[in-house]
Amino acid sequence: MLLYLRLLRESFSFAINALRNNKLRTFLSLLGVTVGIFSIIAVLAAVDSLDKTITSQLSALDSNTMYLANISFGPTQVPRWKYEQFDEISYNEYRSLKSSLTEAEHVAFQIFVRRENIRYESELVQSVNTVVVSNEFTDIQVLEFESGRFYNEAESNAGKAVVVIGSEIAKSLFGEFDPIGKKVRLYGQKFTVIGVVKKEGSGLFGDSNDISIFLPANFVRNKLGKNNPFFKNIVIIKPKKGADIAGLKSEVIQIMRSRRGLKPDEINTFFISVISGLQDAIDNIIGTLNMIGWIISGFSLLVGGFGIANIMFVSVKERTNLIGIQKSLGAKNRFILFQFLFEAVILAIVGGVVGLFLVWIGTLIGSNLTEDFTFVLSPKNMIIGFFISSFIGLLSGVIPALTASRLDPVEAIRTGM
Residues forming beta bridges with residue 183, ordered by sequence position: 192
pLDDT band at 309 (very low <50, low <70, confident <90, very high): confident
* Rounded Cα gap, residues 105 and 98, in angstroms: 9
Residue 385: the pLDDT is: 77
Q: What phi and psi values does residue 250 have, to the nearest 5 degrees?
A: -65, -35
The Cβ of residue 134 has, within 10 Å, a number of other Cβ atoms equal to: 25
Residue-wise pLDDT for 371-387, tens only, equals 556 677 777 777 877 78
Contact call for residues 48 and 374 (beta carbons, < 8 A): no
Q: What is the mean pLDDT of the chain?
A: 80
Whose CA is closest to 331, among 6, 21, 19? 6
> Which of these ranges, 47-61, 84-98, 105-119, 217-231, has the smallest mean pLDDT?
47-61
pLDDT band at 11 (very low <50, low <70, confident <90, very high): low
Residue-wise pLDDT for 43-102, tens only, equals 777 777 776 766 665 555 556 788 999 888 777 778 888 888 888 899 999 999 999 988
Residue 34: the pLDDT is: 77
Residues forming beta bridges with residue 237, ordered by sequence position: 66, 107
52 CA to centre of own chain: 5
DSSP code per residue over 148-199 = E----HHHHHHT-SEEEE-HHHHHHHHTTS--TT-EEEETTEEEEEEEEEPP
Contact call for residues 350 and 337 (beta carbons, < 8 A): no
* Rounded Cα gap, residues 278 and 273, in angstroms: 8
Residue-wise pLDDT for 192-203, tens only, equals 999 999 887 655
Structure-model confidence comparison of residues 124 and 313, the more confident one: 124
Contact call for residues 277 and 75 (beta carbons, < 8 A): no
Q: Is the pLDDT of residue 3 over 60?
A: no
Contact call for residues 135 and 152 (beta carbons, < 8 A): yes
* % residues pLDDT > 90 (the chain): 22
Whose CA is closest to 109, among 68, 60, 155? 68
Whose CA is closest to 91, among 261, 233, 270, 188? 233
Whose CA is closest to 273, among 240, 245, 307? 245
Span between the terminal Cα atoms of the chain, in Å:
37
Q: Is the pLDDT of residue 1 over 60?
A: no
* % residues pLDDT > 70 (the chain): 81
Torsion of CA 111, 124, 183, 151, to 10 degrees: 30
The single-letter code of the amino acid at 254 is Q
* 21-30, 135-144, 153-162, 302-311 — most confident range: 153-162
Residue 154: the pLDDT is: 93
Residue 13: the pLDDT is: 67
The Cβ of residue 291 has, within 10 Å, a number of other Cβ atoms equal to: 10
